[in-house]
Amino acid sequence: MRDPFENGSMVTARRLIILMALICVVAVFMPLLTKAQSGTNLAIVNNSNWEIRHIYLSPTDQDNWGPNQLGEQSINAGDSKTINITCDGSEIKVIAENNDGCFLYKVVSCGSDATWTITNNIPADCGN
């Protein structure tokens, strides 16, 4: 006589094997489907005569600047500020705007902490 639970056990075992295989496939391919992000702490040291009023971020190949990273704060001459940057690529462009409305640029590698020292010798883009 056949065991009435034998068929049910085989079906359950087969479903369990299929479920485990699907979980393994998802675990292997999920990192490939999601965009990797890395974080960078950027210390901005203002050794210039300018007040830095805004800090913006942009992909290196675009001019789509994000929101001001300083909020209502500024970085006065002789001061420094560290901001945390989340990057989608290997590099990100950091844009500083001084109190004259001029812009300074720096490309930062993502995934490792960095320091940007702003001095009076850095050429500023003042729209000229």
Strands 114-119 and 38-47: parallel
Please state the domain count of the chain. Answer: 2
Average pLDDT, the chain: 83
62/89 same-domain check: yes
- For residues 63 and 11, the answer to whether their CB atoms sit within 8 Å is no
pTM, whole model, 2 decimals?
A: 0.68
17/42 same-domain check: no
CATH of the domain at 53: 2.60.40.10
What pLDDT, on a 0 to 100 scale, did the predictor assign at position 33? 44
17/29 same-domain check: yes
Q: How far is CA 51 from the centre of its chain?
A: 26
* Number of neighbours of residue 65 by Cβ within 10 angstroms: 16
Under the banding of pLDDT at 50, 70 and 90, the label for residue 128 is: low
97/114 same-domain check: yes
66/18 same-domain check: no
Write the CA distances from 122 to 45, 47, 50, 112, 119, integer angstroms: 13, 11, 11, 23, 6
24/49 same-domain check: no
17/63 same-domain check: no
Tell me which residue range forms the domain holding 8.
Answer: 1-34
